[in-house]
Amino acid sequence: MKRPHFASPPKRRFPKRGTPPRPALGDGNAGTDLGMDTALGTALGYYAAHAATPDLELGPVQAPAFLYAPTGMNANSCLEWTTAYTRYPGDTQTVRAVWVWDHCVGQNIGTSIPMDSTFTSNYLTYYNGANVFWVELVQSAVPDGTTSVTYDAMIYNFNTNQWDLAYEISTAQLPDTSGGWSVHENDMQQANVCPSLPPIVADQIQALMGGTWTLANSSNSYAWSIGWCFTNNSRYNLQVLAPNYKWQVTTP
């Protein structure tokens, strides 16, 4: 399925397991709120490069630990792309996957793509100093709760040079969110851990607003960090590298 809206992501230079339920909003978050202040009623799409680390480890842990980073969507969207790393006590390793989260019909994981060799071969590329995969969300209209809207979640496949349709829904249900975001979200306070992590990056963050793809900037978004791993001895640090369309979280 081919639905590129503009030039494809750069040529691949980097050749190269289930998922538990998602808990409530994390206790430590940082990144860019996108389209929260302006053009919120016209947002119909999201596009970005999300970092992925197929060997990232969170544990061992004494309580469940969850890292969703990056995770992103536009305002008015039923769907969200989530890079998910999860670990429970007793697990021998962290489960690593990319999800499309369904905020309307299922209100759960709509689809899950394991970070295995197929994922690495098809989707991972090296761009601006990071290993990333490219995602897009587009929808047919702004939802109003009366008319069905179609939502598509796509991921770019460098072996076929086209967008793969990962998940699609059509519904009149309204999203359970308000506004869009691209953030580093963690829920690790109960586990009492903020493990050392490689740098996690979101780049080229754009929203389709008023019919135009627009980079996140100071007029349509704002950057912030709050919560456990960001305030607990400043364990994690948010760096806004290109306000506000590229952010990075590092571990001091």
Query: Each residue of 108-152: pLDDT tens digit?
Result: 999 999 999 999 999 999 999 999 999 999 999 999 999 999 999
SS3 123: helix
Is pLDDT of 22 > 50?
no
Q: What is the pLDDT of residue 45?
A: 93
Q: Please give the order of strands across the beta sheet that includes 28-34.
A: 108-114, 95-102, 79-87, 65-73, 180-187, 28-34, 221-227
Q: What is the pLDDT of residue 173?
A: 95
Cis peptide bond N-terminal to 157, omega within 30: no
Is pLDDT of 11 > 60?
no
Query: Each residue of 172-212: pLDDT tens digit?
Result: 999 988 789 999 999 888 888 889 999 999 999 999 988 88
Average pLDDT over residues 68-72: 96
Are 120 and 16 in contact by the 8 Å Cβ rule? The answer is yes
The domain ranges of the chain are 28-237
Q: Which two tokens stand for residue 202?
A: 């979101």
Cis peptide bond N-terminal to 114, omega within 30: no
Q: What is the pLDDT of residue 4?
A: 37
- Reported for 216-221, long-range contacts at CB under 8 A and 24+ positions apart, including other chains, are 216/32, 216/34, 216/182, 216/244, 216/245, 217/243, 217/244, 217/245, 218/243, 218/244, 219/37, 219/38, 220/34, 220/35, 220/37, 220/38, 220/39, 221/32, 221/33, 221/34, 221/35, 221/36, 221/37
Q: Residue 149: is it exposed, middle or buried by C-beta count within 10 angstroms (0-12/13-18/19+)?
A: buried
Quickly state the pLDDT bin for 35 (edges 50, 70, 90): low
SS3 120: helix
Question: pTM of the predicted model, to two decimals?
Answer: 0.88
Nearest to 27 by CA among 230, 243, 252: 230
Q: What is the pLDDT of residue 220?
A: 87
